[in-house]
Amino acid sequence: MALPLEGVRVLDFTWVVAGPVATRILADHGAEVVKIERKNPPPLGNRKLGLQCDLHRGKISAAINMSHPKGLELARRLAAKSDLVMDNFSARVMRTWGMDYESLRELKPDIICISMSGLGHTGPRSSYVSYGPTLQALTGYTLLMAERDGTPAGYGYSYADMCGGYTGALAALIALYHKRRTGEGQFIDLSQFEGVTAVVGPALLDIAVNGRTQSPPLWNSQEGPAAPHNVYRCAPDGADDDRWIAIAVHTEAEWQRLVKVIGSPPWANDAKFRTLYLRMRNREQLDAHVSRWTRERRAEEAMTALQAAGVSAGIVSNGVDMCARDPQLKERGFWAPLATRQGTTHVTGIPFKLSATPGAIRTLGPEVGQDNDYILGEILGLSKAERDEMIACEAVWP
């Protein structure tokens, strides 16, 4: 069976993280993602390894000079042969190029355009400059990812970019479905700020409906009462004393099982731990007891013992645990191999398995312009002489 998005072409002007995350999801499932880029893009890193490879694998690249009229014309002709045009610029850029939805629908009435800007194309702050971390700050994630004394302690990365990417991919798929049913394209104005706000969760309703000010979640469960519910320090692994296990006990049955696994210590019968309510009220003492048990054990060993008894527990995986040791991710082949000149590297895989078309992570990230000949020759039908002429007049970079 062909990959589900085979035959779908995406003209991709996105850069940094959120946009490329969206288009790579489409590429993994068969879409032809054609990156249009300038010759010397900002130095974000090697596309054959690491994050840039992760973001750009499976895509192809043309180096087209968008400030040259003939370059612009090439891009417009490519748009006319595409199903989707995606960017993450402010509204002005695509309009200046004549590549905005209103202009492109003249060329191709059923085109789908998705713009993934920071704060959206409309509204008083549409020209506000932002990145993932600043959007997280505006949303409340940064302030509420806090230590006990309220000091912000994260994020260490851009969750907003990942959310923006998933939202963009979902938007593309929904718009494609609609187009296949009705023949209609459309414009999607995706604000990454709204994308990450939409996943704050029920806390937003607690504010809007109950008028309650939100506190950092710390280790309170956000899905019903639970105790113990925390991360607990484990025995060092060699010189590494940064080993932790997360344990989450929601029900009475789980509590009984936990007590049994940790050897039914006398403190567990203490009146102050008798009910879930009491365990939550006395959680600091409870956590101290649980910590004494975990501190004596390797994190993996504690997890195995707890899970064998049906208690929710998982080691706090670091990069090495997750990418080199985790037997579950390994067995499911989550880290996808890609051949390089030096051997094999791995990239983030697809977190779901489709039974008939599991997706394909096919090629390393492209060098800028490496697919000029295919994109201009095969897709647009330019002869070798015409392509050389485009290069000679600097509408295309070799």
Partner 1 sequence: MSQNGALAGLKVLDLTDHRAELCSRLLADMGADVIKIEPPGGSSSRRIGPFLDDVPHHDRSLFNWFYNLNKRSIILDLSRPRGAEILLALARSADVVVESFAPGRLAALKLGWERLHGENPALVLCSLTPFGQTGPYRDFTADDTVLTALGGMLYVNGYPGHPPVRPLGLQAYHSAAYFGAIATMIAILGRDASGESQWIDLSMQAATAAAVEHVASSYFERAEAEPRRGTLHWSRYFRVAKCRDGYIMHCSLGDWTSLIEWVKSEGKADDLVAPEYDQVLYRYLMAEHLFDVLDEWVRAYRRDELIERAQLLRQPYATVRPPEALFDDEQLAARGFFVEVEHPELGRRFRYPGGPYLFNGTPWRVYRRPPLLGEHTGEVLRDSLGIETGELDALAAEGII
The reply to whether 327 sits near partner 1 by the rule CB under 8 A is yes
Tokens 């010397």 label which residue?
40
The reply to whether 382 sits near partner 1 by the rule CB under 8 A is no
Of the CA atoms within 13 Å of residue 16, those in its CB half-sphere come to 17
**Structure token pair of residue 285:** 């003492």
> Minimum distance between the CB of residue 32 and partner 1, rounded to whole angstroms?
15
Considering the complex, state which of residue 70 and residue 346 has its C-beta at the smaller distance from partner 1: 346
Part in contact with partner 1 (CB under 8 A); list of ranges 74-82, 125-133, 258-266, 369-377: 125-133
Pairing of strands 32-37, 60-63: parallel
The C-alpha atoms of residue 170 and residue 86 are separated, in whole angstroms, by: 13
Part in contact with partner 1 (CB under 8 A); list of ranges 61-69, 223-231, 262-270, 369-377: 223-231
> Minimum distance between the CB of residue 93 and partner 1, rounded to whole angstroms?
14
Count, residues near partner 1 per rule CB under 8 A: 150
**Structure token pair of residue 203:** 């806390």
The reply to whether 99 sits near partner 1 by the rule CB under 8 A is no
241 is catalytic: no
The per-residue DSSP string of 25-40 comes to HHHHTT-EEEEEE-SS
Interface map 22-61 toward partner 1 (x if CB under 8 A): ---x---x-------------x-----xxx-xx-------
The reply to whether 93 sits near partner 1 by the rule CB under 8 A is no
The reply to whether 326 sits near partner 1 by the rule CB under 8 A is yes
**Residue 137 corresponds to which amino acid?**
A
- Largest Cα–Cα separation, the chain: 87
Pairing of strands 343-348, 335-340: antiparallel
Whether the Cβ atoms of residue 5 and residue 29 lie closer than 8 Å to each other: yes
> Minimum distance between the CB of residue 74 and partner 1, rounded to whole angstroms?
27
The C-alpha atoms of residue 22 and residue 24 are separated, in whole angstroms, by: 6
**Structure token pair of residue 324:** 């080199």
**Residue of 15, 89, 141, 397 that binds partner 1 (CB under 8 A):** 141
Part in contact with partner 1 (CB under 8 A); list of ranges 271-279, 350-358, 365-373, 389-397: 350-358
**Structure token pair of residue 245:** 């296990």
**Residue of 191, 255, 283, 302 that binds partner 1 (CB under 8 A):** 191
The reply to whether 190 sits near partner 1 by the rule CB under 8 A is yes
Helix (H, G, I), strand (E, B), or coil: what is residue 314?
Answer: strand
The active-site residue out of 12, 100, 161, 287 is: 161
Q: Binders of partner 1 among 73-92, rule CB under 8 A? A: none
The reply to whether 137 sits near partner 1 by the rule CB under 8 A is yes
**Residue of 161, 283, 366, 375 that binds partner 1 (CB under 8 A):** 161
The C-alpha atoms of residue 230 and residue 333 are separated, in whole angstroms, by: 29
Whether the Cβ atoms of residue 323 and residue 335 lie closer than 8 Å to each other: yes
> Minimum distance between the CB of residue 195 and partner 1, rounded to whole angstroms?
4
Task: List residues with catalytic annotation.
Answer: 161
